[in-house]
Amino acid sequence: MRLDDGSYYFDCNATIPMKRKAVKAFLDGEKMAFANPSSPYFAGMKSKEVLESSRANILRKLRFEGELVFTSSATEANNLVILSAAKNEKIKKIIISKIEHPSVYELRQIVKSFGKEIIEIGVDKDGVVDLEQLENAISSQSFVSILTAHNETGVIQPVGEIARICERKMALFHTDAVQGFGKIELPFGETNPNAITISSHKIGGPKGVGALAFDKKIELIPMICGGGQEKGLRSSTESIPLIFSFSCAVDLIDTYRFSKLKEIRDEMEDNLSQKFGLTIYGKNSERLPNTSFFSIRGLDGREAQRILNENKIYVGTGSACHGAGKNLPKVLTEMGFSNEEYPIRVSISSLTKKRDIEKFTDIFCSLF
């Protein structure tokens, strides 16, 4: 997308600007519902009404029957559900993939400290979780956490099938749906996960608020104690402006419009492939329509990012949460790529125009 200063932003899996209606909702929320929602007088009751209507609206958009707790971020939501499972005496085994977001993957040692077995499931060369390995690992005392779509490759995981396997084996299933929610119709089919993590700022809402939806089979153990807000699950005065704006951003989701981004993404990949030796990761899998993760023979993605930045074009080299390190992103080594050049991630949004991508392609080809 073209920013107001004339620069171009193509790192939309990291975050996107707040949508105008979400900004207005934030300001309206502060104006009409500034009071503490735990206060017993009319102003507090008004805030409580906005809080609960926002909660119900997000659950409705998720098509999820259960509860929803607001958190400060998706990272907090992931920590809450994974560490609750780790502390649950009825759960003996926690199963994750080797390509989870750091807010899940980096909890491994903490999980083990509670005496739980942790199993990491691999992926194939196309970035898809090994379902046979996963099914063989699951038992009735298992808690499974597999992301819906990968933040770097954009590969969509078979979470509907995973949910059915877990239900059949009487295991619990959580999915980090941060990258999928708002971009695709969540591919759960008739069987929902037991818990779903989502984030506001990935869909054009404000930063500083996320949520965990969960059903009655999930037993959450609070990480933050105090005044007992969020039914005792997450103490701290709820930020009504953030939550109301989050709910507004949810109302603005248009997955049909978002699906059309595939056309300009594919055109960009085709045009780059005509000039460069391009390796597109996950190309043979179902991917988010806005995401392209690729390497170019002889070009280090980190150097390309630096040069593009000097020309006011902003791209990623992988997850913003990982940063650009010395080694290839973990997802690529798990997919079997070890000798490729450092990658580039181009991710766009519904605000990205075809002419923006054409501009990117022209400048990229002229620079490299």
The catalytically annotated residue of 166, 225, 248, 321 is 321
Amino acid at 3: L
Q: Known catalytic residue: 365?
A: no
Where on the phi/psi map is residue 112: left (φ > 0), alpha (ψ -120 to 50), or beta? alpha
* Element holding 199 (H helix, E strand): strand 195-199
Kindly state the DSSP code that residue 231 receives in the 8-state scheme.
G
What is the widest separation between alpha-carbon atoms in the chain? 66
DSSP label at 49?
Answer: H
Residue that has been written with the tokens 């949460």 in this structure = 321
Q: Is 170 left (phi over 0), alpha (psi -120 to 50) or beta?
A: left
* Beta carbons within 8 Å of 132's beta carbon, 6+ residues apart: none
Q: Helix, strand, or coil here: 305?
A: helix
Residue 2 phi/psi, 5-degree rounding, is: -90, 125
112 to each of 69, 82, 93, 101, 224, how far by Cα in Å?
26, 12, 10, 18, 21
* Tokens coding 100: 């989870």
Question: How, if at all, do strands 67-71 and 210-214 pair?
Answer: antiparallel
In the block, tokens 């994750």 appear at 96
Q: Given CA atoms 38, 44, 46, 50 in this order, what sign does their dihedral have?
A: negative
315 has which bridge partners? 10
Query: Cα(154)–Cα(285) distance, rounded to whole angstroms?
Result: 9
DSSP result, 73-85: -HHHHHHHHHHHH
Q: Which residues are catalytic?
A: 321
